[in-house]
Structure 1
Amino acid sequence: MTPASISRRQALGILGLSALGASRLFAAESKPKRILLRSSWQTINIGDIAHTPGVLRLISEYLPETEVTLWPSKVDNGVDELLMANFPQLRIIKDKKQLSAAFDDCDFLLHGSGASLVAENDVRRWAKETGKPYGIYGITFPPKKSHQTTASSEKELASAVEMLNGARFVYFRDSRSLAFAKEKGAHAPIMQFGPDGAFACDLRDDAKADAFLKKHDLETGKFLCCIPRLRYTPSWIYKKTDVEPDKHARNEEMKEHDHAPLRQAIIDVVTKTDMKVLVCPEDQTQMQIGKEMLVDKLPAAVRKRVVWRPNYWLTGEAVSVYIRSAGLFGNEMHSPIMCIGHGVPAVVCRWAEQTTKGYMWDDIGLSDWLFDMDDPASVAKIAPTVLNIAQHPAAAKEKAVAAQHRVEAIQAETMAVLGRELAKT
């Protein structure tokens, strides 16, 4: 019996539910309940990909009689095939006619995890045109720059709060977002911390992962993963647009500062343990960053035990690699989320330019694995913490699994709430 299965059963027990009971909240209905899932924001980042299959997995496990239609922003780059292979009953909207039919047929709209109320206008449209209920699942609030006090930002916040207040429930993926929403007047019937949907992502591509690990002589449990990131994603690279001067200048100013601690962690792990390090990407811009800021700056002797992945991958292969590792560290968020979702140790480094999402590590009991790149005292602890994970993998694993169980208990509660709301439709 796996730790995850124990946790899920315990979580249901805490709620006074059985798996069967949870799924029968509305099973007696002659017509299955139908959810319109507004999610899938982009495909250039494996974390953004992971939101959708995570929520789909939870719905399929806790509310299996429910039918789900996905209303995506993007499912290109093979992501639609990936989703259909894992969720063959899923419907994916591809045109206006299908969307119109979904508005007629679906009972409830669920806004998926994201950096904000990403599809606010679409939620508003659903509420106006159908009068049917909706819920919001695992978001950060507000957007990055909404703490500004300009008239336009206050108007935007008021608009978003209006939509929060119309929801049957709102789950925030970090408690600071929850506090800020309340401060701004949000008062939906249920407003709580609720994990990012990506925690539940279980996409796998074991064949590709095994081939990659074999090619680079990476043994299960004998390597750590490291993910680089600049302060601002240089989206102009993949969008093929003009460089954004202010963001580029900030990236250049801080890139050495933000990667030096990761390099030191790599050096310590390689020289003081028998583990290797895999430098890999979370989005399509990070392969070159990893080479420039991490691999190429390492001492030659260290580089021999460091593997650099030069090409992007999809979420399934990444997850299959992560679960074979001893842990992950770096400047990203969703790869750590997916690691903890599988009980794999993961260190998060964050900075002021990001949203408050990183603070979810406080919410799930991993404060010791959250670091502030703008705080010198915090930065100084990164390399020692990563080395400790490498030197004491069993203890690190135990800590990660404890966080995984916290997440799964809350996931069970959120799905019970969703089930009850569906039963009312």
Structure 2
Amino acid sequence: MSRSASEKHEPTLARRSFLSRSAKMGVATGALAASNPVWQALATADDGKPPKRVLLRSSWQTVNIGDIAHTPGVLSILRDHLPDVEVTLWPSNVDHGVEELLRKEFPKLKIAKPRSEALKQAFRECDFLLHGSGASIVAERDLVKWREETGKPYGIYGITFPLKKSSATSARNGDAMDRSVDVLNHARFVFFRDSKSLELARSLGASAPVMEFGPDGAFACDLRDEPAADRFLAENQLEPQKFLCCIPRLRYTPYWTIKPNVKFDPIKHARNEAMKEHDHAQLREAIVQIVRKTDRKVLVCPEDRTQMAVGKEMLIDRLPKDVLSRVVWRPNYWLTGEAVSVYMKSAGLFGNEMHSPIMCIGHGIPAIVCRFEEQTSKGYMWEDIGLGDWLFDLDSETDCKRIVPTVLQMANDLDAAKAKADEARQFVEKRQRETMAVLRKELASVS
């Protein structure tokens, strides 16, 4: 069964102390053990050497709770498995209250913002640069800068490696891909969050010493805001385990509606308009079936700042009147902590997004993913972690027909769904331990 919120938090000190001792004795880090919390302090001081220092390049944007989740996820993995390592975050963006969330959850975290003196100091002092999870090698230029200015090693953790279809054969795209492969080749390790990315990288000649499947860091995101979640559920008469979450999504995120510096894209807008009914019809029917055939409610909620409007237009406004009384629409954006706390009180999640399902599975909550051709290959990670029958291609007529029955089955047999989700969670955590063992080895080799 999945772990409760308290179970997720209470073993943290025990995990840290046990894993700290294990690292020093060369013992595998796969188990949890209770131990004296003072061990962490003793472990970092017993040899008189300064701690190893990791510079985490992450935090790409804050308009999406999934992009926010990458950073606390990787930080949690580092804290649990390498507790004696000192971490500095090099973010792109930590506004809208995200910096405060990170500092509260990780009080020892150093943050070195772009072009700051703290970043210059991090370049001097840190032993290793770790590129966090993302849709690509997001900070490719920064990895090159690190390598050229410091000569120190770096690794890449939980990314998708995409090949742009529209210009894949152009000379310009070929040059860019060559540069990306060169960045992969100079990495000490690269963990891809989906096996299709790994296959693509290998086919293009990438040959880092370690190239393997490694889960998206967001699986480990454990930010919480229980008071906000409880208030929201109470205000909307949502009872724990008595509702499912549904997340809408257009083919292309209309950033021009929320970012002043992003210009309106008529081509992407036209594609969104052409496909939005097709892409939400199955979600809408699943909501209808849940309300009419089970005792559960449905919460329509966002993963990014554009999706409240999408949910209202494509789901809420088009539902039958007899269904609406048991469907809740969240009209405002939320941060990752509140979202995770709500997801953990739900019976499961379904929709057209990726990172809310990732955060659900990270806590043993069932989650169904619908994807489409405009996305990268990230959705195929569901196959990699044993949830292939919870992954649907909206461009496949056969897959579309299976969405509603699968959602209804999840709602009707929650015990089986939770067991399935928890098995995937355990596999992800196993890979997290194994990937951290690789980083530990690299840090040990740094003089």
Q: Name the TM tier (shorter chain).
A: over 0.9
- For residue 229 of structure 2, what is the aligned residue in structure 1? 209
- Shift, 1:36, TM fit: 0.3
Query: Could you tell me the TM-score, scaled by structure 2's length?
Result: 0.90
2:19/2:80 contact within 8 Å kept: no
The C-alpha deviation readout for 1:77-114, integer Å capped at 9, x for no partner, is: 00000000000000111343111110001000000000
Q: Counterparts of 2:419 and 2:79 in 1: how far apart (Å)?
A: 28
2:2/2:418 contact within 8 Å kept: no
1:311-326 equivalence runs, <5 A: 311-326=332-347
1:361 to 360, 373, 382: 382
- Is 2:421 aligned against 1:400? yes
Instruction: Identify which range, 23-32 or 84-93, moves more after superposition.
Output: 23-32
- Shift, 1:149, TM fit: 1.2
Query: Could you tell me the TM-score, scaled by structure 1's length?
Result: 0.95
Instruction: Identify which range, 414-423 or 27-36, moves more after superposition.
Output: 27-36
Task: Give the match's secondary structure for 2:278.
Answer: helix
2:71/2:217 contact within 8 Å kept: yes
2:60/2:67 contact within 8 Å kept: yes
- Shift, 1:214, TM fit: 0.5
- For residue 107 of structure 1, what is the aligned residue in structure 2? 127
Q: Counterparts of 2:174 and 2:187 in 1: how far apart (Å)?
A: 20
1:338-417 equivalence runs, <5 A: 338-417=359-438
- For residue 104 of structure 2, what is the aligned residue in structure 1? 85
- Shift, 1:191, TM fit: 0.2
- For residue 170 of structure 2, what is the aligned residue in structure 1? 150
1:277/1:307 contact within 8 Å kept: yes
Which structure exhibits the higher relative contact order, with contacts defined as CA atoms closer than 8 Å and separated by 6 or more residues?
1
- For residue 22 of structure 2, what is the aligned residue in structure 1? 21
Task: Give the match's secondary structure for 1:31.
Answer: coil
- Is 2:274 aligned against 1:253? yes
1:146/1:153 contact within 8 Å kept: no
- Is 2:79 aligned against 1:72? no
1:168 to 180, 188, 193: 188
- For residue 75 of structure 2, what is the aligned residue in structure 1? 56
Task: Give the match's secondary structure for 1:281.
Answer: coil
Q: Counterparts of 1:147 and 1:350 in 2: how far apart (Å)?
A: 22
- For residue 59 of structure 2, what is the aligned residue in structure 1? 40
- For residue 12 of structure 1, what is the aligned residue in structure 2? none
1:304 to 309, 317, 325: 325
**Matched pairs, number:** 416
| TM-aligned CA distance change 1:69 to 1:143, over 3 Å | farther
Q: Counterparts of 2:53 and 2:163 in 1: how far apart (Å)?
A: 29
1:235-250 equivalence runs, <5 A: 235-240=255-260, 241-250=262-271
| TM-aligned CA distance change 1:23 to 1:388, over 3 Å | farther
- Shift, 1:154, TM fit: 1.0
Query: What amino acid is the match of 2:276?
Result: K
Structure 2: segments with no counterpart, 5+ residues: 12-17, 27-42
Structure 1: segments with no counterpart, 5+ residues: 10-16
- For residue 198 of structure 2, what is the aligned residue in structure 1? 178
RMSD after superposition: 1.8
| TM-aligned CA distance change 1:76 to 1:21, over 3 Å | same
1:3-22 equivalence runs, <5 A: 20-22=21-23
2:49 to 30, 42, 53: 30
The C-alpha deviation readout for 1:365-423, integer Å capped at 9, x for no partner, is: 00010000000000000011000010000100000000000100000000111111111
Identity of aligned residues (%): 63
| TM-aligned CA distance change 1:23 to 1:75, over 3 Å | farther
The C-alpha deviation readout for 1:283-304, integer Å capped at 9, x for no partner, is: 0000000000001100011011
